[in-house]
Structure 1
């Protein structure tokens, strides 16, 4: 966990923009000695921050690079709760697994688990999720909404809207939503969302939203079996993107839509989701565990269930399926 002193220094340097701040100014803001400031500046440089220093002028923040450690995420984060507690790892089996453990240990709402690499990352239906080191965003967010468990699937759709709009803000790319949990660019998958919960029959105790986002991979980073169906933001935007900036935008949007949902229900989120959905208004095939249904996707219910009208005019409610 980043120290309060270093957090204060980063906040001051970030607020200072291109201006140099003297060691004395930073010491006063951070509540420590000028000698300690020098040590913390060196630690921040080791963590990847580019901090310029000039004799008799002080320090200024030039760049924070592409690091996604706690200090990088907190610097400039515009949320009250989400992402304020961060557990960062170089390599893990799965961020979902760690988030579940933290939920059991009473971790606060908004806790974010993030890793540079997942060894056994997984998506929906226990499928493997390819998570190469240092290229993407592999994270799990812990929420504790006071809701019955049947409301949980709506949070996958809320997260999808938040991520689509964050990518548009940070990367200026158009992203489509494919029900229930995929985000696509030009038909290729760029993001997957996995929502899991701990609950009893009446109450959600914890809800964990796993998000896997292909950010800075090149085409060579994808195994051959994924090269035709997956892509990254860097491939589509023809440049590298700041992962920390994207995470901050996702947390900000998620907090906004989470608040709207808790105050106004799913209706305003539903309208936004449908505006981004590539699934709605098309003839599709839904493959469930037990059946295969082809029909017209007319929309989703307020519970996030897909409505599929077959050739006979019968409407089917699809709760979970692969969509083509």
Structure 2
């Protein structure tokens, strides 16, 4: 039986003057004039371009994807804060670990300094701050849940008192519970709620948004499990995981998907995912992209170390925005926010001068 996928393509600067020929992507700043229709049958994939004006001729089983591609993403409400997805938002990375690959130890053991850094990043334009107490780098040392709680909760409490929106980056149910009680509003789980048997129930009972990320294996995040078509394989995996989490009681509007750049993937895999990123909009969920300072940037730029990957990080963030990513998870907040504001200016000018 054939399986179909749709990737938005042939983006245009403005919809003005193209009535019936373009459609808006996920209620955001992008309009496209065609779909790449991918048909996979017995392990072989074929592709063809279909103009937006001919979307009605697509197979019946594809029409649901067409609708999800066009549907605006529902804003997230976190207490008194509302995070809208009509344009790309920035999530600031705040590691409170001694061994994270890019900034390990910068604020480790000093909750006050960590919270000050988080408040600063919120002031620089981050929609929310993603707090993590365990490094997920290759060969990173596992952290006991109690130690992870001790690292993150004092920081989250301070950030919450300052009015900062917070996500907790963890795959442990005990840490999720403690972080949510301390003031976090989103769970960001690199194992997509598969590492800990209690994690899904915690999220369902909390009624909070959750980020489901693709990785090689819930317990070995960097084991490579992908075959020759990583884009479709990651899409299928996320589609199945979203369906499971939704069936358990988490509304699709509160599920965020992340293709997991750098987790169990080669450089070629990562590039395929980044080039095909718009495909994931077919899941109907906000899309998070976390490519900041990743090893692939160094591999493509003379092995630049993690603290010298700003240019590559901003380039990947902008590429993500131009393919519809609603959330960009980054280390370098002011530089990314500035780049997005300039890009937004280009989009606004195109609309007003058409």
TM-score if structure 1 supplies the norm length? 0.23
Computing the radius of gyration over CA atoms, which structure comes out larger, 1 or 2? 1
Question: By percentage of residues, which structure has more helix?
Answer: 2
Q: TM-score, normalised by structure 2?
A: 0.22
Larger RCO, structure (CA 8 Å, separation 6 or more): 2
| Structure number with higher strand proportion | 1
